Amino acid sequence: MRRKTPYPYWFVAPAAIIFTVLFTIPTVTSLYFALTRWDLFSQTFIGFDNFVQFFREPGLTRGLINTVIFAGLTSGLKTVLGLLLAVLLTAGIFAQGFLRAVVFFPVLVSTIGVGLTFTELMHPTDGAINMGLSFFGIDGPGWLTNPDLALISVALVDVWRGVGLATLIYIAGLASISPEYYEAARMDGATRLQQYWRVTVPLVRPATTTVILLSLIGGMRLFDLIWAMTRGGPGFSSDVLASVIYKQYQAGFYGLSTAGNVILFILIGVLVMPLVYWLNRREVDL
């Protein structure tokens, strides 16, 4: 049974109006404009043509696949590296507070700044990375100019930028595990590795859920880093949904880019909702 709200209607009215004007109306109209050919001056209703176009044009489908690859890769790496770093940084090592700050620092830097900096570092001939590699006699690849590598390079930079947040969440998660579990495990003769797999990993599951969801959603809607580093290039090889949508918008295909946003909305929903359900159920099982 629903509890009756303690607030009178006039009290919630301002928030309701803002919500309607800024969120409900644009969402509903965008569903309509996704079904039109729209040039801002006029629109023609064309049914699902925009969606068909999205799944037929190679440049656009490539963006869809890249989005899933990018989100999966960054989310996975942030989860694994985040937990390992958190374990290291709660182990009472030297200069722990300082090192925690160092890991978290990239989160505070502007994404565009990070992107432009790494674009210079990853320059195929004059970049610091390849110059460093050539010192050891290794011929570094074109990190951002090799079509097979560009998306992965951007993903690695995104992991560098975002792993600090995952670590922070894990540190909080580790702090909430009672030391008695480790004590009991040691009494039973568990090794460090067994303690890690049998105690730490299962008990930080709430933190894991948060990290996976945040980084997966963040990865799927990522735009600024891709735009600063490759603009989806070379060619279309590192295009993701968000950069594809922006390019359609820039080109004046307003209906098509709205349809792209609806697809992104549905994609995030389809991937994330079952994941939330699954992760939460596992939590209850414990």
Binding map of another protein across residues 52-71, x = CB under 8 A, - = no contact: -x---xxx------------
Q: Which helix (H) or strand (E) holds 255?
A: helix 254-285
DSSP 66-116: HHHHHHHHHHHHHHHHHHHHHHHHTS--TTHHHHHHHHHHHHHS-HHHHHH
Rounded to a whole number, what is the distance in angstroms from the first to the last CA of the chain?
Answer: 29
125 binds another protein (CB under 8 A): yes
17 binds another protein (CB under 8 A): no
Residue among 185, 234, 272, 275 that touches another protein (CB under 8 A): 234
Smallest gap from residue 112 Cβ to another protein (A):
15
48 binds another protein (CB under 8 A): no
**Is the bond preceding residue 234 a cis peptide, omega within 30 degrees?**
yes
Smallest gap from residue 242 Cβ to another protein (A):
15
Smallest gap from residue 250 Cβ to another protein (A):
3
Give Cα 211 to chain centroid, integer Å.
Answer: 10
37 binds another protein (CB under 8 A): yes
Taking Cα atoms as reference points, which of 88, 95, 65 lies closest to residue 163? Answer: 88
131 binds another protein (CB under 8 A): no
139 binds another protein (CB under 8 A): no
Kindly state the number of chain residues that form the binding site for another protein, as judged by CB under 8 A.
Answer: 32
Residue 148 is encoded by which pair of tokens?
């097979």
Q: Is 64 helix (H, G, I), strand (E, B) or coil?
A: helix
Nearer to another protein, 57 or 224 (CB): 57
Residue 110 is encoded by which pair of tokens?
């502007």
Residue among 145, 152, 185, 210 that touches another protein (CB under 8 A): 145
Q: Is 44 helix (H, G, I), strand (E, B) or coil?
A: strand
List of residues contacting another protein (CB under 8 A): 37, 39-41, 44, 53, 57-59, 123-126, 142, 144-147, 231-237, 247, 249-253, 256
